[in-house]
Amino acid sequence: VPKVTPEHRDARRRQILDGARRAFGRFGYEAATVPRLEEETGLSRGAIFSYYPSKLDLFLALAEEDQARLLEVWIEGGFDALVREVVARPEWIGVYLDVPRMLRADPALRDRWRAFNPLGQERLASRIEALRSAGEIRSDVGLETIGKFLGAVYDGICVHLGAGFDVDVDGTLELVRAALAPPAVR
C-alpha cells in the first residue's frame, strides 16, 4: 500500500471539490450523475466516495466552503462587497439553483443548511450591531428584520444572476443603503 500523505489527501479533496463544482454548475444537482462527477473530477466513484460519503455530502461541503468565504467577505467588506463578489463570478451561482427545491423537499436539510457556520453568523450579527451602535445603520428595526431583508435582496440578486439577467449593482446597493440609513442622516 503506497503511503498517502496529508498533502496528497488535501490535493485530492480539492480536485474532487473543483470537479464537482463544474458538474453541479453545468448540470444541476439532480442531473450531476455519478458518471458525470467521475468525468469532471477525473477520479473513480470509489475515490470520490472515500472522501465524501454521498453526493449530498459532497454538495454540502462545497456549500459550506462557499458560505464561509462569503460570510468573511460580508463581515470584512460589508454588504456591498458581498454583492460585488457574487456579481463578479456569475458562473459560480449555477451550483445553487437547485437548492430551494432541495430545501423545500427536505426539512432536515433545511435545518442543516440554516445551521451552517454558527460562529460566522454570530460574528456577522456582532458586526451589524456595531454599525448600529455607531449610528451608521438604523437601530429602530430589529437585527433579524435587517438580516432577512438583506438575505432577500442577496438571494434575489443571485437568482437574477443565475437566470442570466442583468443586475443593477450600484442602483440596488444605493437603495439598500437608503433602506438601512438611520432616520437622522437620511
Q: Contact positions toward its own copies, by CB under 8 A?
A: 28, 30, 94, 97-101, 103-104, 107, 110, 114, 138, 141-142, 144-146, 148-149, 151-157, 159-160, 162-168, 171-172, 174-176, 178-181, 183, 186
Q: Is 185 exposed, middle or buried (0-12, 13-18, 19+ CB in 10 A)?
A: exposed
* Nearest-approach distance from CB 153 to its own copies, in angstroms: 5
Q: SS3 of 33, please?
A: coil
The residue among 2 and 164 lying less far from its own copies, judged by its C-beta, is: 164
The residue among 90 and 120 lying less far from its own copies, judged by its C-beta, is: 90
The residue among 12 and 36 lying less far from its own copies, judged by its C-beta, is: 36
**C-alpha atoms less than 13 angstroms from C-alpha of 27 in its C-beta half-sphere:** 17
| One-character DSSP codes across 90-128 | GGGGGGGTTHHHHHHH-HHHHHHHHTS-HHHHHHHHHHH
The residue among 7 and 166 lying less far from its own copies, judged by its C-beta, is: 166
The residue among 122 and 155 lying less far from its own copies, judged by its C-beta, is: 155
* Nearest-approach distance from CB 83 to its own copies, in angstroms: 10
The residue among 46 and 142 lying less far from its own copies, judged by its C-beta, is: 142
Q: For residue 159, give the nearest of 101, 104, 96 by alpha carbon.
A: 96
* Nearest-approach distance from CB 108 to its own copies, in angstroms: 11
117 vs 97: CA distance, rounded Å? 21
Q: For residue 96, give the nearest of 44, 160, 13 by alpha carbon.
A: 160
* Nearest-approach distance from CB 180 to its own copies, in angstroms: 7
* Nearest-approach distance from CB 175 to its own copies, in angstroms: 4
* Nearest-approach distance from CB 114 to its own copies, in angstroms: 8
Count of other CB atoms within 10 angstroms of residue 20: 23
C-alpha cell, 186: 437620511
